[in-house]
Structure 1
Amino acid sequence: MNNTNKFKMFLIRNAVPIVFLVVSAIAIPISRFSLDYLVQEMLIRLSRNSFLVLSLLVPIMAGMGLNFGMVLGAMAGQLGLIFVSDWNVVGLNGMVLAAVIATPLAIFFGWICGVVLNKARGREMVTSYILGFFMNGVYQLAVLYGFGSIVPITNTKLVLSRGYGIRNTINLDSIRRCLDDLIPLEIFGIQIPVATFIVIGLFCLFIVWFRKTKLGQDMRATGQDMGVADSAGIPVLRTRVISIVISTVLACYGQIIFLQNVGTMNTYNSHEQAGVFAIASLLVGGASVSRASILNVFVGVILFHLMFVVSPMAGKYLTGDAQIGEFFRVFVSYGIISLALVLHAWRRHADREIARAQFRGQNADGGTKK
């Protein structure tokens, strides 16, 4: 492959982060935000969102693609937070208790998702997306009608005025920033959530270690070729289910970390935003449906949320209406997923053409091997 083709393939593989870098470079000066403000916002959003995005890496390693079913884990985390808020367990103890309550639910949801995706091999992403919609209906039915009637809720501030059903917004003051402020650190007026970054760092080490384990190697083999993995004696279907269960449990913990940072929970919508934004962030970082790394996670979170911060003000100064920037953010969230899927299909086609040319005894640039 000559230098021209190498450069072309580099642009194809990194088109999304390059576009975001260019747009951000243009929007930052227009938004007129100070450097200190942008650095503080990026640190907050890194600590808030990184765990959720990291939970997507395991299914990609197992060849399951982008796990839109991670919203099931987010639902489990929110159910844990509802119970903690009802029991008024405060601080880090409340956050840990919410995770303990939510873990068996997340395992169950992940198992359901994994079993369903095994029935839809080759169409995992669209299936997990639709499954997320279905389970969202089940979740809303349970929270809107089951809590307060079947499941006892003693805190009247959580229940709707009719006597059952959880309110649209729950105040999480009892656990707000309990992890972020556990180890306070301020440098030049910028607050750094050290404890949260330590948890995220430990998670990254876990992923690096997990890839080297027997289960991690099985997942990588399954992701590369299920037929070869099955011939090698790897329980392919079981391995795929385990990858989804792990991702769902991790997404549950990520949602709890996210909401303790925000301090409020939108009972019926928070989990939906978590899934779309996490997947979009990973794709913005240069990941694809079949390949993702820890570096992609952090690059993606920074670029995607930098765009989220600067676009409303840039839209306001350019057009006089900040709402234009808000529309742009929604457009980017869904558009970047569509673009990444198109680029993935294009890239697979290009790789097949190169492999076919090499198989015929030709170089990728059309020359003949000697």
Structure 2
Amino acid sequence: MQKRMSLKDILIANAVPITFFILTFLAVLVAKIPILFLLSEIVRRLSRNTFLVLALIIPVVAGLGLNFAIVLGAMAAQAALFFVVDWGITGLKGILLAMVISSVISIFLGWIVGKTLNRAKGREMITSMILGFFANGVYQLIFLFFVGSLIPFRKTDFLLPQGVGLRNTVDLFGIVDGALNDLLTVNIGFITIYIVPLLFVVGLCIFLTFLLKTKLGQDFKAVGQDMHIARTAGIDVDKTRIIAVIFSTVFASIGQVIYLQDIGTINTYNSHEQIGLFSIAALLVGGASVKKANIWNAILGVILFHALFVVAPSAGNRLFGQPQIGEFFREFIAYAVIAFALAMHGWRSRKGK
């Protein structure tokens, strides 16, 4: 017979989302932002950011923890979009081609990350973070020094004045800007709902639900619970972990394409840097942990985390007369959420033992 959880146990288990809900509620009261505007922004961010957060679920289920290396998928997406822009392929064709190219690159990158994490069992999160930093250096080397010299790029207006290296900003307007958003929209009062990006999110939710019920999904769960027992049961643990990372990296690349077509511009050297941090923070805000995550954690996390993102500048301006404080608060809260969630996980693990 399963033991019923007490109110104290429920509060402890959901400490992160409860704390964040209270913080967000107080910030909304202070900011005094119109509710319709806030709802409009949350709906838009659900269609823009949820795919990226969902990309983190499979590695958590497979015991790899929080995969900071999804930034490699984001880099692959940006690289694909740069070449789509250079080739002049516009609209939906450009978006779909970028997704295909970035997915192919991400399969290779995910395989490399998976192989590396298999050599760092027990230290996957810090290893994936360092891999993200290393990959960022390689990315900047390629697009700052190789593009325009070793790698031909016909659109010279996107290159730096010396003809080598991409400019800090690549504009997607008139090429693939809003290519998914504009396919089908529904307006409810002041709220605009972009149907196609939301369909991508729903499609990924259905795929994850189906995948975790298959033999491969059961292998993910078995490896995540105990690698030794999984290996004894005949599961190829290393291969299963690599597949989990590949799935995550590919989903992150597609999610970054969806994100950037909504934004409309690519900050060449910075757009990908905070993707891992903010996506992980959103997942943790939704009640996930290092060892447990599901679709509802991702959706709830995006709502709460990005609601605070929307109101933080206005709250900072009303409290201190400086909207920039709200901008600093965004990054501070992202790191604080991750630290708090990891501390709670460590405390619960020691209590369990």
Q: CA deviation at 1:189?
A: 2.6
Q: In terms of Rg, which structure is larger? A: 1
Cα deviation 1:14-48 (Å, max 9, x = unaligned): 11111111112111122121111011000111111
Instruction: Please tell me the root mean square deviation across aligned C-alpha atoms, in Å.
Output: 1.2
Map Cα deviations across residues 306-355 of structure 1 (whole Å, 9 max, x no partner): 00111110111111111221121111011111111111111111222xxx
- How do residues 21-32 of structure 1 correspond to structure 2 at under 5 angstroms? 21-32=21-32
- Aligned residue identity for 2:349: R
Counterpart for residue 317 of structure 1: 318
Q: Name the residue aligned to 1:183.
A: 184
* Residue of structure 2 in register with 1:253 after alignment: 254
Q: More deviation in 115-124 or 13-22?
A: 13-22
Is 1:232 equivalent to 2:233 in the alignment?
Answer: yes
| Separation in 1, partners of 2:193, 2:10 | 35
Q: Which runs of 5+ in 2 are unaligned?
A: none
Looking at structure 2, the residues matched to 196 and 144 of structure 1 have their Cα atoms a distance apart, in angstroms, of 31
Asked if structure 1 preserves the Cα contact closer than 8 Å seen for 2:40 and 2:190, the reply is no
Alpha-carbon separation, structure 1, partners of 2:8 and 2:349? 14
Q: Which runs of 4+ in 1 moved over 6 A?
A: none
**Equivalent residues in 2 for 1:86-101, closer than 5 Å:** 86-101=86-101
Instruction: Report sequence identity in percent.
Output: 50
Letter in 1 for 2:117: L
Question: How far 1:8 moved relative to its partner?
Answer: 2.3
Corresponding residue SS for 1:191: strand
Instruction: Output the CA distance in 1 between the equivalents of 2:77 and 2:169.
Output: 15
Deviation of 1:7 after TM superposition, in Å, equals 2.2
Paired residue for 1:361?
none
SS at match of 2:131: helix
Structure 2 equivalent of residue 80 of structure 1: 80
- TM-superposed CA distance for 1:294, in Å, is 0.5
TM-score of the superposed pair, with normalisation by structure 2: 0.97
Q: How does 1:1-370 map to 2 (within 5 A)?
A: 6-173=6-173, 174-352=175-353
1:2 CA displacement: 8.6
Secondary structure of the residue aligned to 2:274 is: helix
Question: Cα offset for 1:263?
Answer: 0.2
- Structure 1: how far apart are the matches of 2:34 and 2:11? 31
CA distance in 1, matches of 2:290, 2:157: 43
Q: For residue 66 of structure 1, give the secondary structure of its aligned residue in structure 2.
A: coil
Mapped contact 2:92–2:180 kept (Cα < 8 A): yes
Shift of 1:288: 0.3
d(CA) in 1 for partners of 2:209, 2:326:
38
Structure 1 residues 63-108: Cα deviation after superposition (integer angstroms, max 9, x where no partner):
0000001001000000000001111111111011111121221111
SS of 1:337 mapped into structure 2: helix
Unaligned residue ranges in structure 1 (runs of 5+): 353-370
| 1:211-232 superposed Cα distances (whole Å, 9 cap, x missing partner) | 0111111111000000000000
2-structure distance, mates of 1:77, 1:250:
10
In structure 2, C-alpha distance between the alignment counterparts of 1:165 and 1:314, rounded to whole Å: 39
CA distance in 1, matches of 2:26, 2:82: 42
